Structure 1
Amino acid sequence: MLRLSSFYFAYYAALGAFTPYWSLYLKGTGQDVAAISVLMSLWYATRVVAPSTWSTLAARSANPVHWLRIGCVLTLLSFSAFTLELDFAWLFVVMCVFCFMYNAVMPQFESITLSHLVGRAERYGRIRVWGSIGFVAVVALFGVSLDHLPVTALPWLMLPLFAGMLASAMMNDYGRTPAAQAEADTVNFLSRLRRPEVIAFFIVALLMQLSFGPYYTFYSIYLDEHGYSSSALGMFWSIGVIVEIAVFTFSTWIFRRWSASTVLLISLVAASLRWAVIALWPDSVALMTIAQTLHALSFAGFFAASMQFLVKFFPGRQNGHAQGIFYGFSSGIGGVLGALLSGLVWKVSGGDTAFLLASATSAVAAVVAWVWIRPRRQEAPA
């Protein structure tokens, strides 16, 4: 399990540097706001096609882990180009390649992890939690480091993280597939994809990611508009990640007591409540703190339950392809639409309306889940 955990740690540690600080790096290279918005949008745009494309190539390969390793090599090589002086045109090209490769590898590695957890999928969270730990550690460490170093040094600081990700990929491989699961792999992938509960699951995943649009795009701006200090912004963001770590840590206990369907439905209701609280009571520190603790359910609970469903719906090597569709459909299409639509609503009616619509979107997702994939009395915990 240490080898599996090491990949999550390295991958999300690099993401912990990229997400909060990369726009500052681009600004440090002389890019204006318009250029930065275009370059950063490539992160979500490549998520639409990269996961499914790479997972499809891996699924058709006699040795699929080679594609994981190739992806990690290309991620490291493309990112190393940022150590050079690049104008906007070259930054655009390098960002396209880097974001494509970086977004491509995680869905395949999720499949590798789940292949080692056949019959024990509830233990997934105890491995995935190391990704959250890596994210938090790097956010804090790099924040202090960049107080003393120029922001243009960020690529040099991040290169060891991608090197660590590559090293971990070299040490990992797919687990053995039991005979029963190997037989299940012969079932046509598209026939599984057309099942009503599977379609409903992917729709729910897209709607959930769509509801996160105002949060990922404008949450800090929203808090700033309501008079919160920079330290308060950091506190609220940290609360979300800390409770996320708690859920992943205790996920084995959670899924031994409740089914994935139950956890999924609760997470959707929690998300709807969370966005409504943020929209209606932004000036209440107590209520905003409670809203952030709901990240434990609305993100971590939903994500952990989704992995359970992907194991159930797509066993064996089909899981890698399914992971690609899941990431591309939810984080890709859902992420792009969430950012664009929340921005449009924000301009017209303000942040409170954007979060209220996010709450409504989560509620619709909860209805879909209740009708098509709700818990049944005879359903055992995942």
Structure 2
Amino acid sequence: MAKSPTEKTYRFIQMFYLFAFFGFGALFPLLSVYLEQEKGLNHTQIGIVLSALPLLTIFMQPIWGMISDYTRRPKLLLIIAALAASMFGLIYPWMQIFPTLLIGIICLAMFQSGIVPLSDSLSLSFVQKNNKEYGNIRLWGAIGFAVAVFVVGRVTDHTGSLSWIFYFFSLALFLSIISLIQFPKRADEVSVSFRTGLKILIKQKPFLLFLVSTFLIFGPVLANNYYFGTFILSVGGTLSGVGLAFLLAAGSEAPFMKFSQQIINRFGIIFVIIFSASVSCGRWLLYYFEPSSEVVYATTIVQGISVGLYIPAALLLIRELAPDDVRATAVGIYSAVGNGLGNAVFTFLGGVVIDFWGVNGMYGFFSGMTFLGILLVFKVKRWTNSSRKELTA
């Protein structure tokens, strides 16, 4: 029996996420190891190069959004972004000194930063119109990321060359472009401008406080993706071991994402956020005390809780805290603060802390910042409870 056009599009969107995140998984987890072992950079320089990726995201995502709004051609822009990022990935291994490595990653990030927001915009519009679940799309990204780190880790360990991370990155993004054939061409239009939405959201204290907590909680989670490979090697692991660790960590996200809505419905949004953040805090604290490689491998699966539950719960809370007509703007700001600013700041500070106190000291710092973020979530909970009581009084 032939699949309907809607089901066919749904499968192609899942395929895109599989290939795109395979590319991300091939490159980013081992990028710090590549810069250290093959380019000879110190950890402060590595922190600067790595933090350029999320820092560019903060500035480039709104630009991609404005170009998309002006042209009404998000699918074409997505093709351009993926193709250009793929080409810069092929060029990057030829660069040698720190300034060119920094410039090269900036060029790559300018285009790579457009891939997720453009694809999310198109896919969210599709699932809302066709009664599908975004979680069943996004979990294919988690699977692609997990498989990529495992495969690329084994290839680099076997060949002795870390340049493979860029070749796999470029190939995967090129394959993702092929899956765009069946992608929807347009996303929904927004009714409120970004500037107007920002003015409204600045007045929402619980929303602003949750942004700060997201910065403190999720910034270290994303920075860990860059330094976890270095940590695995420091406890006696191998490049293949790095791949295995990421396979367990990223792979554990998929089932939690699939069942996240049921868990949130049962326990509540705030509880799930606090619980998942507490798991992250405990994990970073454990790493501070220099555990064995076996313990590190065993604890990677808790990332399913700290990421697979936190992401959907945080998005739901953002939508709950924001007024109805500015929810799209609220989600965009949340993404910029968590995925962009928090990622950039903690990636940079992580490199500096490693140079002074080692990779275990970095995880102690991450644990402390995450704990502060959890305290802020409790404050958000009190504010939201007070607001509900006022509305029902």
TM-score bin, normalised by smaller chain: 0.7 to 0.9
Q: Distance in 1 between matches of 2:83 and 2:243?
A: 33
| 1:302 paired residue among 303, 307, 310 | 310
Residue 339 (structure 2) aligns with: 331
Across the aligned residues of Structure 1 and Structure 2, the Cα RMSD in angstroms comes to 4.0
Q: Which amino acid counterpart does residue 142 of structure 2 have in structure 1?
A: S
What's the TM-score, normalizing by structure 2? Answer: 0.77
**1:212 alignment partner, SS class:** helix
Residue 199 (structure 1) aligns with: 208
8 Å CA contact 2:72–2:186 kept in 1: the answer is no
Residue 17 (structure 1) aligns with: 26
Q: Distance in 2 between matches of 1:359 and 1:121?
A: 39
Q: 1:355 to 1:196 in 2, by over 3 A?
A: same
Residue 59 (structure 2) aligns with: 49
Residue 342 in structure 1 maps to residue 350 in structure 2: yes
Residue 364 in structure 1 maps to residue 364 in structure 2: no
Aligned-residue offset at 1:231: 5.7
Residue 131 (structure 1) aligns with: 141
8 Å CA contact 1:13–1:138 kept in 2: the answer is yes
Q: Which amino acid counterpart does residue 271 of structure 1 have in structure 2?
A: S
Alignment of 1:49-198 (within 5 A): 49-82=59-92, 85=94, 88=97, 92-118=102-128, 123-146=133-156, 147-148=158-159, 152=163, 155-173=166-184, 188-194=196-202, 195-198=204-207
Q: Which amino acid counterpart does residue 64 of structure 2 have in structure 1?
A: W
Residue 271 in structure 1 maps to residue 276 in structure 2: no
8 Å CA contact 1:126–1:252 kept in 2: the answer is no
8 Å CA contact 2:74–2:122 kept in 1: the answer is no
Q: Which amino acid counterpart does residue 132 of structure 1 have in structure 2?
A: A
Q: Give CA-to-partner distance per residue, 1:156-198, whole Å, 9 cap, x none.
A: 5443312222233443237775xxx977889941244222232
**Which sections of structure 1, spanning at least 5 residues, go unmatched?**
none
Q: Which amino acid counterpart does residue 139 of structure 1 have in structure 2?
A: V
8 Å CA contact 2:23–2:171 kept in 1: the answer is no
8 Å CA contact 1:124–1:252 kept in 2: the answer is no
**1:33 alignment partner, SS class:** coil
Q: Which amino acid counterpart does residue 366 of structure 2 have in structure 1?
A: A
Q: Distance in 1 between matches of 2:132 and 2:199?
A: 26
8 Å CA contact 1:207–1:365 kept in 2: the answer is yes
Q: Distance in 2 between matches of 1:67 and 1:322?
A: 23
- Identical aligned pairs, as a percentage? 16
Residue 6 in structure 1 maps to residue 18 in structure 2: no
Residue 239 in structure 1 maps to residue 263 in structure 2: no
**Which sections of structure 2, spanning at least 5 residues, go unmatched?**
1-9
What's the TM-score, normalizing by structure 1? Answer: 0.79
More displaced stretch, 206-215 vs 243-252: 206-215
8 Å CA contact 2:73–2:185 kept in 1: the answer is no
Residue 208 in structure 1 maps to residue 252 in structure 2: no
**2:184 alignment partner, SS class:** coil
**2:307 alignment partner, SS class:** helix
Q: Distance in 2 between matches of 1:21 and 1:350?
A: 18
**2:172 alignment partner, SS class:** helix
Q: 1:317 to 1:3 in 2, by over 3 A?
A: farther
